[in-house]
Amino acid sequence: MAQNLKNDVKAGRVPMRGVNLGGWLVAEHWMTSASPAWNEVPEHIAKQGEFKTMQHLGHAKGDSQFNQHRDTYITEEDFRDIAKAKMNTVRIPVGYWITGFDNQPGGDPDGWKVYAPGAINYLDRAIREWAPRNDIL
């Protein structure tokens, strides 16, 4: 049914109504301060974002905390609630590091390695499973 929805939206037969799922795959302390991602992280570090937080925590602890955040901050239940609210699109912000590399001129070729890996798997699940099951683009 999502394919029909996509065609209907593109043709102008159905208005696009959506919501931003910020804070999920790009965790920002100001909007997710209660998240387990920030456990045992001084506020002055957490306010600087994921990069500084992961430098502070290290991968052993940070990967676990950020995956717990990703597992709980947005779930398929949220997609069902979005559909119940008569919305049909979601915007999911992602950071460049989600791909596992940075090959841009002047970029930091190793900077992405600081971040907790695996966010792309959550994005993939949202696009391939949760959105289609709930008629969301």
Instruction: Give one DSSP letter per residue of 18-84, joined into a string.
Output: EEE-TTSSS--HHHHTTSGGGTT--HHHHTT-HHHHHHHHHHHHHHHHHHHHHHHHS-HHHHHHHHH
- The number of beta carbons lying within 10 Å of the beta carbon of residue 88 is 22
Residue-wise pLDDT tens digits, 49-85 = 999 999 999 999 999 999 999 999 999 999 999 999 9
Give the percent of the chain with pLDDT over 90. 76
Q: What is the pLDDT of residue 7?
A: 85
- The residues spanned by each domain of the chain are 2-133
Is residue 3 very low, low, confident or very high in pLDDT (cuts 50, 70, 90)?
low
Maximum alpha-carbon separation in the chain:
50
Q: What is the pLDDT of residue 93?
A: 98
Q: Which two tokens stand for residue 71?
A: 């597992």
Interacting residues of 41 by C-beta distance below 8 A, sequence separation 6+: 53, 56, 57
How many Cα atoms occupy the beta-carbon half-sphere of 132 within 13 Å?
7
Is residue 107 very low, low, confident or very high in pLDDT (cuts 50, 70, 90)?
confident
pTM value surpassing 0.75: yes
109 vs 31 pLDDT, higher one: 31
112 vs 109 pLDDT, higher one: 112
Is residue 108 very low, low, confident or very high in pLDDT (cuts 50, 70, 90)?
confident
Task: Taking residues 99-106, report their average pLDDT.
Answer: 79
Does pLDDT of 1 surpass 60?
A: no
Q: Alpha-carbon Rg of the chain, whole angstroms?
A: 17
Q: Which residues pair with 18 in a beta bridge?
A: 89
Least Cα distance to 84 among 9, 137, 21, 134 occurs for: 134
Does pLDDT of 101 surpass 80?
A: no
Task: Taking residues 35-61, report their average pLDDT.
Answer: 97
